[in-house]
Amino acid sequence: MADRDPDRNQPQEIQLLHPPPHYRQTGPSTTQIVAVLTLLPVGGSLLALAALTLTGTLIGLSIAIPLFIIFSPVIVPATIAISMAVAGFLSSGAFGLTGLSSLNYGLKRMIRANAGAGVGKGQAKRGMWDMVGYVGQKTKDVGQNMENKAHEGGGAVRT
Q: What is the pLDDT of residues 11-64, one digit of tens each?
A: 555 555 555 556 566 777 888 888 778 888 888 888 989 999 999 999 998 998
Closest Cα to residue 102, out of 133, 76, 74?
Answer: 133
Q: What is the pTM of this model?
A: 0.33
Q: What type of residue is 117?
A: A
Euclidean distance between CA atoms 129 and 122, whole angstroms? 11
**Predicted local distance difference test score (pLDDT) of residue 53:** 92
pLDDT at residue 157 in the model: 45
CA–CA dist 58, 121 (Å, integer): 67
CA angle 27, 28, 33 (to 5 degrees): 140
The single-letter DSSP state of residue 112 is H
